[in-house]
Structure 1
Amino acid sequence: MISIYTVDTFTSTAFSGNPAAVCILEAFPEDDHWLQQIAAEMNLSETAFLCAMDNGSYRLRWFTPVAEVDLCGHATLASAQVLWESGAAYGVDLLRFHTKSGVLTAKRLDNGIELNFPAEPPVPCDAPPQLAQALGNSQPVAVCRNRLDYIVELASEKEVRELKPDFRALAELPSRGLLVTGPSEHPDYDFVARCFFSPVGVDEDPVTGSAYCALAPYWKDKLGKSTLSAIQLSARGGAVKLQAANNRVLIQGQAVIVIKGLLVQ
């Protein structure tokens, strides 16, 4: 039987932040269908599948309930927490994950975990018809995109918080999803965000680590500062500390294991 975990991420408190499932395998199956079935069964925004390579290195893949994705921050954070807390990576303070987005690292801190991810800076673009329909009456300050997502800046935190997107229109976007951001009204945060991934089966993600690969460089250029803090305005919510430099983004957060079970094959 295979151990499987549910981990709440970007939080120090259970039942908040963004939950991810983590499954440690001895080897990946030849057919991805089984992995997709497990992700659908877990029915969380992402399920991470890990397979050890050598000391401190792992192959890592992420699946939503309906599709594999190229990059996921919160499930990487969850994976690191499981490896350390379970003792599977005992004595290793820097984990290396080999993924579809290259080698990602997780560093153990005194009060959390620091992920080292590639920067995915967005560039200005025209809004496709599906995006304009999805946003309704909201008027973007800017529309951008990177290889993964569309990024929309709205004028205020209030507009971001009150946005009610058309998920059917969002599902037709030619991208992984949509990141909506704006300036924070709270002095402890530089900006706010909400993240919608209807094209891959997740209408709104609670806290999205990979989104900050785009949002950190975006707000770095806009605010002229490389160390940033953000809050994601989902129902569960979560806070993220960021540093953008040298084509990388450092993402800090905490994680809590809330469920441990056995997968019966």
Structure 2
Amino acid sequence: MTNYKFYQIDAFTNSAFEGNPAGVILIDNNWPSDDLLQKIAREINLSETAFVQILGVHKYKIRFFTPTCEVPLCGHATLSAAFVLFNELNLKTNQLIFNTIDLQLHVDYNPKNKLVKLNFPLYSLQQLPNNTEISQILNLPITELYACDNNWKMAICKSEIALQNLQVNANTLTSNGYGQIILTAKSDSQNDFVYRCFVPDLGILEDPVTGSAQCTLAPYWSSVLNKKELISQQLSGRTNTITAQVNANNISIFGTCTTVIKGDLMF
């Protein structure tokens, strides 16, 4: 019988049943096949499950799967995996490194307040000339549209209220080439900006809290607002707060987590 340690973590929150839930699976010995990883992620059925294996001193391999496919980067699952290692396994360090498929991610931990800092890449933005189509598809005024790294598109909305009330159809988004899109607006409250993420191309209609979206959002709003440190909220219905800091060559994403389930995956 195969046995893996399993954790379900609510990320970007310090309250259970808020933030974004992620699965974290610890791999002890031989790395499973991609087919098995995908079956496990489908069984867990969260937006992302992170699979983690130790490589050396404070260095780990990490991969991310949605219920339908592998993704190259995931913010809340990285945060959750780091939280498990620091808080549940009580690592004797406050720094570690995750190796993804193509990145090396440096992570820091403050044990006093259980705050995790992720150092993530800055995504490039290429403004697209026509935002009329997406405005018509969403029935939502869009002022700017961008193509971003990792197949994301980002659209700038005029109104936080309109964005919050938006209802979308997955088939409409995917059939028109917008199956992985970030929608964002300047905040009307104490936050700097708000956003929502729809990713039906990856088997998720709407993600509750998308940490990797900060790779695009933070540099954009930093330029618009002339600020290096930004506080944002994802309008998903699950309470969350993300602080991001724009650096010269990367961004730092800060968040807390809470453990809601831990046990064994056996088959």
RMSD: 1.8
| TM value normalised by structure 2 | 0.93
Determine the C-alpha separation between the residues in 1 that align with 2:174 and 2:132.
Answer: 12
> What residue is the counterpart of 1:185 in the other structure?
188
Q: Which runs of 5+ in 1 are unaligned?
A: none
| Alignment partner of 2:205 out of 186, 203, 206 | 203
1:169 paired with 2:177, answer: no
Instruction: Give the conservation status (yes or no) of the 8 Å contact 2:131–2:143.
Output: no
AA paired with 2:98? F
User: Contact 2:131–2:145 (CA<8 Å) still a contact in 1?
Assistant: no
1: distance between equivalents of 2:178 and 2:57?
A: 35
Between stretches 108-117 and 58-67, larger displacement belongs to: 108-117
Q: What is the aligned partner in structure 2 of residue 99 from structure 1?
A: 100
1:158 aligns with 2:161: yes
CA distance change for structure 1 residues 121 and 262 in 2, over 3 Å: closer, same or farther? same
* Structure 1 pair 22–129 and aligned structure 2 pair: CA distance change class (3 A): farther
Q: String of CA shifts for 1:54-81, please: whole Å, max 9, x gaps.
A: 1110000000000000110000000011
Q: Which amino acid aligns with 1:253?
A: G
Write the mapping of 1:13-162 to structure 2, written as runs, cut at 5 A.
13-27=15-29, 29=31, 31-87=33-89, 90-109=91-110, 110-111=112-113, 112-126=115-129, 131=134, 134-135=137-138, 137-148=139-150, 149-162=152-165
Alpha-carbon offset, residue 22 of structure 1: 0.1
More displaced 10-residue stretch of structure 1: 54-63 or 20-29: 20-29
Offset, 1:128? 8.4
Deviates more, 1:157-166 or 1:46-55: 157-166
The 2-side partners of 1:134 and 1:34 are apart by 37
**What is the alpha-carbon distance in structure 2 between the residues aligned to residue 126 and residue 100 of structure 1?**
32
Q: Deviations over 1:162-181 (max 9, x none)?
A: 11122112234657611000
Specify whether residues 198 and 139 from structure 1 end up closer, same or farther in structure 2 by C-alpha distance, changes over 3 A only: same
Contact 1:207/1:237 (CA < 8 Å) preserved in 2?
no
Q: C-alpha distance in 2, partners of 1:175/1:142?
A: 14
Q: CA deviation at 1:103?
A: 0.5
Residue 5 of structure 2 is aligned to residue 3 of structure 1: yes
- The separation in 1 between residues aligned to 2:203 and 2:31, in whole angstroms, is 23
> What TM-score do you get using the length of structure 1 for normalisation?
0.93
CA distances 1:85-143 after superposition (whole Å, capped 9, x unpaired): 222x52121110001241012210232111100011322014589845641x1120110
Give the residue type in structure 1 aligned to 2:248: N
Alignment of 1:226-245 (within 5 A): 226-245=228-247
Aligned residue type for 1:94: Q
**Would you say how many aligned residue pairs link Structure 1 and Structure 2?**
262
Q: Distance in 2 between matches of 1:36 and 1:127?
A: 37
More moved, 99-108 vs 40-49: 99-108
Aligned-partner residue type, residue 199 of structure 1:
D
